[in-house]
Structure 1
């Protein structure tokens, strides 16, 4: 399942990069002359460049958060934003009678639906059918990493408290007067 999500993310990223680069850096007149670019005749060049920048940001948001393991929740959020872009593209191309491009955009829309809103439903159905819930967890490595870091922090904090208590005991002699040990001082 994880491999399928990475393939879908890679395909959508390639599409977003190609569309974003072309809309951001190719002049409006050249875009209008290409097949599928007829919609740019009536559009403002600032609007076209904004769409290009949004597609470039989508390309970044579909790959980097999961790859770097920084805010991986941004991948489904970006997929939902991509869905909005694809619905707008489908409406625009259908008004111009470009059914082939509407079909292509619906494929991109389906991939984005798979990566975004439908992802939990697909995962739930797969775990019911296959019965291997541990294989289809969303980010299993993330939980292990967080638990390991939390354990290291707790043990380092406990060692630090014990060292502090031993130092206090040595300096003040509190343990010998009250009959407590350094471990008892850590708890207090």
Structure 2
């Protein structure tokens, strides 16, 4: 279970460090080719989502790694599930059914990570 948690958490952390990092660091014009939805939401919200993704990635890995407040990993995984539910809802509201596959995969991975975290944390 521990190895499975680290595989899932590691993959999620890598994805969200990248995804959150570009949302925080890049302009709307730079994000538009990858994320058409940035035109429909304020940049402040895009930056907030990016910050939450970065915090979630750190929260999945750092607390269990250093052994301080490992329950934060569980909270981070729950937060990432909620982010993906919101992302899926946004894409569905925009009629972008074809692009929710990644959202669903990330949601399922985060949900499995929650389950794995509850078995050993």
Q: Scaled by the length of structure 1, what TM-score is found? A: 0.60
Structure 1 residues 10 and 65: alpha-carbon distance in aligned structure 2, compared to 1, 3 A threshold = same
Matched residue of 1:21: which SS?
helix
User: CA separation in 1, counterparts of 2:96 and 2:6?
Assistant: 30
User: CA separation in 1, counterparts of 2:19 and 2:117?
Assistant: 28
User: CA separation in 2, counterparts of 1:58 and 1:100?
Assistant: 26
Q: RMSD of the alignment, in Å?
A: 1.6
Could you list the runs of 5+ residues in structure 2 that have no partner in the other structure? none
User: CA separation in 2, counterparts of 1:105 and 1:74?
Assistant: 22
Structure 1 residues 17 and 78: alpha-carbon distance in aligned structure 2, compared to 1, 3 A threshold = same
Q: CA offset at residue 18 of structure 1?
A: 1.1
Q: How many equivalent residue pairs?
A: 121
Question: Which residue matches 2:30?
Answer: 30
User: CA separation in 1, counterparts of 2:20 and 2:26?
Assistant: 10
Q: CA offset at residue 98 of structure 1?
A: 2.6
Could you list the runs of 5+ residues in structure 1 that have no partner in the other structure? 124-137, 140-188
Q: CA offset at residue 120 of structure 1?
A: 7.3
Question: Which residue matches 2:116?
Answer: 119
**Greater RCO (Cα-Cα under 8 Å, separation 6 or more):** 2
Question: Which residue matches 2:14?
Answer: 14
Structure of higher CA gyration radius: 1
User: CA separation in 2, counterparts of 1:101 and 1:13?
Assistant: 21
Q: Deviations over 1:41-68 (max 9, x none)?
A: 0211111111111111111101000111
User: Where in structure 2 are the equivalents of 1:1-188 lying within 5 Å?
Assistant: 1-32=1-32, 34-35=33-34, 37-116=35-114, 118-119=115-116, 123=119, 138=120
Matched residue of 2:41: which SS?
coil
Is the 2:5–2:117 Cα contact (8 Å) retained in structure 1? no
Q: Scaled by the length of structure 2, what TM-score is found? A: 0.91
